[in-house]
Amino acid sequence: MARLILFGPPGAGKGTQAVELSSRFTVPHISTGDLFRAAVSEQTALGVKAQGYLDRGELVPDELVIDMIRERLVQPDTQAGWLLDGFPRTVPQAHALDELLSSINQSLDRVVNLEVPDGFLLERLLGRGRKDDNEEVIRRRLQVYHDQTAPLIRFYGDRNQLTDIDGSAPVEDVTAAIQTALTAFFSQA
Ligand code: AMP
Protein backbone atom coordinates (compact mmCIF):
# COMPACT_ATOMS: atom_id res chain seq x y z
CA MET A 1 0.00 0.00 0.00
CA ALA A 2 1.45 3.33 -1.00
CA ARG A 3 -0.16 6.73 -1.49
CA LEU A 4 2.30 9.00 -3.18
CA ILE A 5 2.62 12.34 -4.91
CA LEU A 6 5.29 12.81 -7.52
CA PHE A 7 6.09 16.50 -7.52
CA GLY A 8 8.33 18.69 -9.66
CA PRO A 9 8.46 21.30 -12.40
CA PRO A 10 7.32 20.57 -15.97
CA GLY A 11 10.03 18.56 -17.70
CA ALA A 12 11.47 17.13 -14.46
CA GLY A 13 10.75 13.59 -15.63
CA LYS A 14 7.65 12.96 -13.51
CA GLY A 15 5.92 10.95 -16.25
CA THR A 16 8.88 8.60 -16.73
CA GLN A 17 9.48 8.11 -13.01
CA ALA A 18 5.76 7.66 -12.38
CA VAL A 19 5.66 4.66 -14.70
CA GLU A 20 8.53 3.02 -12.76
CA LEU A 21 7.05 3.85 -9.39
CA SER A 22 3.53 2.72 -10.16
CA SER A 23 4.86 -0.65 -11.26
CA ARG A 24 7.22 -0.93 -8.25
CA PHE A 25 4.38 -0.25 -5.78
CA THR A 26 1.58 -1.74 -7.93
CA VAL A 27 -0.58 1.34 -7.67
CA PRO A 28 -2.41 3.22 -10.42
CA HIS A 29 -0.58 6.17 -11.97
CA ILE A 30 -2.93 9.16 -12.00
CA SER A 31 -1.66 11.97 -14.20
CA THR A 32 -3.98 14.99 -14.32
CA GLY A 33 -2.15 16.18 -17.47
CA ASP A 34 -2.86 12.82 -19.19
CA LEU A 35 -6.50 12.94 -18.04
CA PHE A 36 -6.89 16.46 -19.44
CA ARG A 37 -5.18 15.58 -22.72
CA ALA A 38 -7.51 12.58 -23.13
CA ALA A 39 -10.55 14.76 -22.35
CA VAL A 40 -9.38 17.36 -24.88
CA SER A 41 -8.81 14.80 -27.61
CA GLU A 42 -12.23 13.22 -26.97
CA GLN A 43 -13.76 16.71 -26.76
CA THR A 44 -15.75 15.83 -23.63
CA ALA A 45 -17.43 18.70 -21.74
CA LEU A 46 -14.40 18.82 -19.42
CA GLY A 47 -12.02 18.72 -22.38
CA VAL A 48 -13.72 21.65 -24.07
CA LYS A 49 -13.40 23.68 -20.86
CA ALA A 50 -9.77 22.70 -20.28
CA GLN A 51 -8.37 23.06 -23.80
CA GLY A 52 -7.55 26.79 -23.80
CA TYR A 53 -5.68 26.51 -20.51
CA LEU A 54 -3.54 23.63 -21.76
CA ASP A 55 -2.78 25.42 -25.02
CA ARG A 56 -1.63 28.53 -23.14
CA GLY A 57 0.36 26.68 -20.49
CA GLU A 58 -1.95 27.97 -17.75
CA LEU A 59 -3.48 25.95 -14.94
CA VAL A 60 -6.98 24.60 -15.40
CA PRO A 61 -9.24 26.11 -12.65
CA ASP A 62 -8.96 24.30 -9.32
CA GLU A 63 -12.62 23.17 -9.17
CA LEU A 64 -12.35 21.26 -12.45
CA VAL A 65 -9.15 19.51 -11.37
CA ILE A 66 -10.45 18.70 -7.91
CA ASP A 67 -13.70 17.22 -9.25
CA MET A 68 -11.72 15.05 -11.63
CA ILE A 69 -9.44 13.77 -8.82
CA ARG A 70 -12.38 13.18 -6.49
CA GLU A 71 -14.00 10.93 -9.09
CA ARG A 72 -10.77 9.07 -9.66
CA LEU A 73 -9.96 8.45 -5.99
CA VAL A 74 -13.25 6.75 -5.24
CA GLN A 75 -12.85 4.15 -7.96
CA PRO A 76 -12.11 0.58 -6.86
CA ASP A 77 -8.59 0.39 -8.29
CA THR A 78 -7.40 3.28 -6.14
CA GLN A 79 -8.48 1.78 -2.81
CA ALA A 80 -5.14 0.02 -2.36
CA GLY A 81 -3.05 3.09 -3.12
CA TRP A 82 -2.22 5.55 -5.86
CA LEU A 83 0.47 7.71 -7.35
CA LEU A 84 -0.50 11.28 -8.23
CA ASP A 85 1.50 12.95 -11.00
CA GLY A 86 0.84 16.64 -11.67
CA PHE A 87 -1.61 17.09 -8.78
CA PRO A 88 -1.79 19.05 -6.52
CA ARG A 89 -0.40 22.09 -8.33
CA THR A 90 -1.74 24.91 -6.14
CA VAL A 91 -2.14 25.42 -2.39
CA PRO A 92 -5.97 25.29 -2.67
CA GLN A 93 -5.64 21.97 -4.53
CA ALA A 94 -3.47 20.62 -1.69
CA HIS A 95 -6.07 21.68 0.89
CA ALA A 96 -8.82 20.10 -1.21
CA LEU A 97 -6.80 16.87 -1.38
CA ASP A 98 -6.47 16.86 2.42
CA GLU A 99 -10.22 17.24 2.80
CA LEU A 100 -10.97 14.62 0.20
CA LEU A 101 -8.58 12.11 1.77
CA SER A 102 -9.96 12.61 5.24
CA SER A 103 -13.52 12.20 3.91
CA ILE A 104 -12.58 8.80 2.44
CA ASN A 105 -10.39 7.77 5.39
CA GLN A 106 -7.14 7.76 3.49
CA SER A 107 -3.84 9.49 4.13
CA LEU A 108 -0.91 10.57 2.03
CA ASP A 109 2.36 8.71 2.68
CA ARG A 110 4.99 10.75 0.89
CA VAL A 111 5.70 13.51 -1.61
CA VAL A 112 8.68 12.87 -3.89
CA ASN A 113 10.08 16.20 -5.08
CA LEU A 114 12.17 16.01 -8.26
CA GLU A 115 14.55 18.98 -8.19
CA VAL A 116 15.77 20.18 -11.58
CA PRO A 117 17.20 23.62 -12.45
CA ASP A 118 15.26 25.73 -14.99
CA GLY A 119 18.06 25.67 -17.60
CA PHE A 120 17.81 21.87 -17.84
CA LEU A 121 14.04 21.96 -18.01
CA LEU A 122 13.87 24.36 -20.92
CA GLU A 123 16.25 22.17 -22.92
CA ARG A 124 14.36 18.96 -22.10
CA LEU A 125 10.93 20.42 -22.81
CA LEU A 126 12.03 21.90 -26.13
CA GLY A 127 13.29 18.46 -27.15
CA ARG A 128 10.04 16.69 -26.24
CA GLY A 129 7.77 17.95 -29.03
CA ARG A 130 4.40 17.86 -27.25
CA LYS A 131 1.69 20.24 -28.53
CA ASP A 132 2.14 22.56 -25.51
CA ASP A 133 5.94 22.46 -25.82
CA ASN A 134 6.67 25.54 -27.96
CA GLU A 135 9.07 27.96 -26.31
CA GLU A 136 6.56 30.64 -25.35
CA VAL A 137 4.19 28.13 -23.73
CA ILE A 138 7.11 26.38 -21.99
CA ARG A 139 8.27 29.65 -20.45
CA ARG A 140 4.74 30.32 -19.29
CA ARG A 141 4.48 26.83 -17.74
CA LEU A 142 7.77 27.32 -15.88
CA GLN A 143 6.61 30.68 -14.58
CA VAL A 144 3.27 29.22 -13.50
CA TYR A 145 5.20 26.45 -11.72
CA HIS A 146 7.33 28.93 -9.77
CA ASP A 147 4.40 31.21 -8.90
CA GLN A 148 1.64 28.73 -8.09
CA THR A 149 3.11 25.26 -7.62
CA ALA A 150 6.52 25.68 -5.97
CA PRO A 151 4.91 27.00 -2.73
CA LEU A 152 3.76 23.42 -2.15
CA ILE A 153 7.38 22.44 -1.40
CA ARG A 154 7.11 24.48 1.76
CA PHE A 155 3.57 23.24 2.42
CA TYR A 156 4.61 19.56 2.44
CA GLY A 157 8.10 20.27 3.79
CA ASP A 158 6.65 21.90 6.90
CA ARG A 159 4.76 18.68 7.51
CA ASN A 160 7.85 16.54 7.02
CA GLN A 161 6.24 14.71 4.13
CA LEU A 162 8.78 15.66 1.47
CA THR A 163 11.61 13.60 -0.03
CA ASP A 164 13.93 15.69 -2.27
CA ILE A 165 15.54 13.87 -5.18
CA ASP A 166 18.07 15.25 -7.69
CA GLY A 167 16.05 14.99 -10.90
CA SER A 168 18.89 16.20 -13.13
CA ALA A 169 20.79 12.89 -12.74
CA PRO A 170 20.45 10.16 -15.43
CA VAL A 171 16.97 8.59 -15.50
CA GLU A 172 18.03 5.23 -14.01
CA ASP A 173 19.87 6.99 -11.16
CA VAL A 174 16.79 9.06 -10.39
CA THR A 175 14.65 5.90 -10.33
CA ALA A 176 17.13 4.19 -8.00
CA ALA A 177 17.33 7.21 -5.69
CA ILE A 178 13.54 7.41 -5.40
CA GLN A 179 13.25 3.69 -4.66
CA THR A 180 15.99 3.80 -2.03
CA ALA A 181 14.39 6.78 -0.31
CA LEU A 182 10.89 5.30 -0.35
CA THR A 183 12.06 1.88 0.79
CA ALA A 184 13.79 3.55 3.75
CA PHE A 185 10.67 5.57 4.48
CA PHE A 186 8.29 2.60 4.40
CA SER A 187 10.60 0.41 6.45
CA GLN A 188 10.61 3.00 9.25
CA ALA A 189 6.89 3.77 8.99
P1 AMP B 1 1.30 18.08 -17.30
O2 AMP B 1 1.18 16.96 -18.27
O3 AMP B 1 1.24 17.63 -15.87
O4 AMP B 1 2.45 18.99 -17.58
O5 AMP B 1 -0.02 18.98 -17.48
C6 AMP B 1 -0.33 19.58 -18.73
C7 AMP B 1 -1.34 20.71 -18.53
O8 AMP B 1 -2.54 20.20 -17.94
C9 AMP B 1 -0.88 21.82 -17.60
O10 AMP B 1 -0.07 22.77 -18.25
C11 AMP B 1 -2.23 22.39 -17.16
O12 AMP B 1 -2.82 23.17 -18.18
C13 AMP B 1 -3.08 21.15 -17.02
N14 AMP B 1 -2.99 20.56 -15.66
C15 AMP B 1 -2.49 19.34 -15.32
N16 AMP B 1 -2.57 19.13 -14.00
C17 AMP B 1 -3.13 20.25 -13.47
C18 AMP B 1 -3.48 20.66 -12.16
N19 AMP B 1 -3.24 19.87 -11.09
N20 AMP B 1 -4.03 21.89 -12.00
C21 AMP B 1 -4.29 22.68 -13.05
N22 AMP B 1 -3.98 22.37 -14.31
C23 AMP B 1 -3.42 21.16 -14.54
Structural domains present in the chain: 2-178 (3.40.50.300)
pLDDT band for 131, please (50, 70, 90 cuts): confident
**Is the beta carbon of 54 within 6 A of some atom in ligand 1?**
yes
Tell me which DSSP letter residue 148 carries. Answer: I
Backbone phi, psi, residue 82, to 5°: -165, 165
**Is 80 exceeded by the pLDDT of residue 189?**
no
> What pLDDT shows up at residue 89?
98
From the list 3, 37, 89, 110, the catalytic residue is: 89
What is the enclosing helix (H) or strand (E) of 84? strand 81-85
Angle, nearest 10°, between helix axes 118-128 and 135-144?
Answer: 140
Q: What is the band of 132 on the pLDDT scale with cuts at 50, 70, 90?
A: confident
Mean pLDDT score, 53-82: 97
User: Average pLDDT of 49-66?
Assistant: 98
Residue 188 Cα to ligand 1 middle (Å): 33
Question: What's the rounded Cα separation, in Å, for the pair 60 and 134?
Answer: 19
pLDDT digits (tens, 9 = 90+) for 35-52: 999 999 999 999 999 999
pLDDT, residue 93, reads: 98
Give the residue from 122, 135, 111 showing the smallest Cα distance to 168: 122
